Amino acid sequence: MGMSLSAFLPYWSLMMAAMMLPALSPVLSVQLEALAERGYNFATLIVRLGGFLLGYLLLWSLSALPVYLLSLLGEMLAHSAPALGVLVGVALLVLVGLYQLAPLAGRFLRHCNPTLFQEPQHDFSLGCPVELSRGRSVIKGGFRHGLHCMGACGPLMLVMVVVGLMNLPWMLLLTLLIFLEKTWDQGQRLALAVGPALLLFALLAACYPTLMPGFSF
């Protein structure tokens, strides 16, 4: 990969912000509307929104370390054990594809997609009645919501490792998939369709390892 961890961390954080924040906008809209109805002023809304986003993005930034280590592993295997590298890359794609079909992924997605909410007053702690001096509660709410979103679409980030972290077409494709999964009322069906698609891609990658530049040459 040719990048140190200290250089990779801000790169990954910016990439996660670019990929995840568009899909977060409907949730924020729902929560800000609820806060406005409770009579919060503009300054309070901004502070709470900032705290929520800080907690949310902090979690995704923390994922940089395992992603970085996995990327180094792929690079090492591609150089020293190409056959094993292909096997590991295909295995990762299969695991992500199977996870997309798992009930657990669906439960996480229902928390992240406003159109799939089962309760009319879904609360992520963005609107908890806490004083501004206790802003950590709002940050915790963003972190907790990030955990659910990571459970829903975090495994797709493993696909980025397999196809190459600098692969712009795949980055755009995954950003679109994540956006649709977390905002569309058919997002859950789309997530289920992504599973077989990834399994098919794993089969193709096993035959054509160049489809996995993160684990082969």
Segment 145-194, tens digit of pLDDT: 899 999 999 999 999 999 999 899 999 999 999 999 988 889 899 999 99
Identify the top-confidence range among 19-28, 43-52, 163-172.
163-172
Q: How confident is the model at residue 136 (pLDDT cuts 50, 70, 90)?
A: low
pLDDT at 44: 82
* Mean pLDDT score of the chain: 86
For 86, 98, 148, 199, the CA distances from 104, given in Å and listed in that order, are 28, 11, 10, 18
Domain assignment present for residue 30? The answer is yes
Residue 125 has pLDDT above 90, yes or no: no
Domain assignment present for residue 193? The answer is yes
Q: How confident is the model at residue 217 (pLDDT cuts 50, 70, 90)?
A: low
Helix (H, G, I), strand (E, B) or coil at 122: coil
Residue 132 has pLDDT above 50, yes or no: no
Residue 130 has pLDDT above 60, yes or no: no
Global pTM reads: 0.86
Distance spanning both ends of the chain, measured CA to CA: 13
Quote the number of domains for the chain.
1
Domain assignment present for residue 217? The answer is no
Domain assignment present for residue 216? The answer is no
Which residue range forms the structural domain that includes residue 71? 5-211
Q: How far is Cα 59 from Cα 175, in angstroms, rounded to an integer?
A: 18
Sign, CA dihedral 64-70-73-74, equals negative
Identify the top-confidence range among 27-36, 69-78, 119-128.
69-78
Q: Which of 88, 119, 123, 121 is nearest to 212 (CA)?
A: 88
What's the whole-number mean pLDDT along residues 102-127? 68
Q: Calculate the CA 91 to chain-centre distance.
A: 20
What's the whole-number mean pLDDT along residues 11-16? 93
Q: How confident is the model at residue 89 (pLDDT cuts 50, 70, 90)?
A: very high
Domain assignment present for residue 153? The answer is yes
For 62, 69, 78, 135, the CA distances from 174, given in Å and listed in that order, are 20, 21, 24, 32
Identify the top-confidence range among 56-60, 142-146, 183-187.
56-60
